[in-house]
């Protein structure tokens, strides 16, 4: 009978160390793969490709190709924080996912819509475009116009962006 080939898994510790440096990312180290975070995850209920336990496993293996690739599941998270409350290990899966999103943005690997929203925030302080139509509708509803935000103050507290001229 032919012998089964031994399977090896290579862990990318460099990627894990990089994730450790992003706020919230270091908690991925505490995950013991119990799956409690999946039970009440609304994104996991509606998408077979989303599972916070699997995302944490990929983080533990340092699988940047999966987590930061074009089909990464991290962008399906609804930011509901159910997993934060369920996790017995204080992993705070949502915050690891946010750290992964930040890492993806740092590497210019975020989906184009997300990248556009980020650019809008850096320019105007809000994620959507402030068009004349938006302003007219706001005025008709008695709301004050958008656009008067201290973006320069915001850039000062963003360590990387604040350096830009």
Question: Which residues would be at the binding site for ligand SF4 (CB under 6 A)?
Answer: 31-37, 41-43, 52-53, 56, 77-83, 86-87, 89, 91, 93-94, 97
Tokens of 33: 């793969």
Confirm if 42 and 80 have CB atoms less than 8 A apart.
yes
Between 23 and 133, CB nearer to ligand SF4: 23
Confirm if 36 and 66 have CB atoms less than 8 A apart.
no
- Give least dist CB 60 to ligand SF4, A: 9
The separation between the first and the last C-alpha atoms of the chain, rounded to the nearest angstrom, is 68
Confirm if 11 and 62 have CB atoms less than 8 A apart.
yes
Between 24 and 125, CB nearer to ligand SF4: 24
Cα 93 to Cα 32: distance, rounded to the nearest angstrom: 12
- Give least dist CB 126 to ligand SF4, A: 23
Between 37 and 99, CB nearer to ligand SF4: 37
Between 23 and 157, CB nearer to ligand SF4: 23
């Amino acid at each position: 009978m032919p012998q089964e080939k031994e399977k090896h898994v290579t862990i990318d510790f460099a990627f894990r160390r990089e994730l450790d440096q992003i706020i919230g990312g270091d908690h991925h180290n505490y995950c013991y793969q119990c799956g409690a975070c999946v039970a009440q995850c609304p994104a996991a209920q509606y998408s077979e490709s989303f599972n916070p336990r699997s995302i944490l496993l990929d983080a533990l293996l340092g699988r940047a190709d999966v987590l930061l690739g074009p089909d990464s599941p991290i962008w399906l998270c609804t930011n509901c924080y159910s997993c934060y409350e369920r996790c017995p290990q204080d992993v705070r899966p949502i915050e690891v996912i946010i750290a992964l999103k930040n890492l993806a943005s740092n590497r210019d690997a975020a989906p184009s819509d997300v990248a556009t929203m980020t650019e809008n925030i850096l320019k105007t302080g809000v994620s959507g475009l402030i068009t004349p139509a938006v302003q007219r509708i706001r005025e008709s509803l008695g709301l004050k116009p958008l656009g008067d935000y201290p973006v320069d103050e915001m850039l000062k507290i963003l360590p990387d962006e604040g350096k830009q001229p």
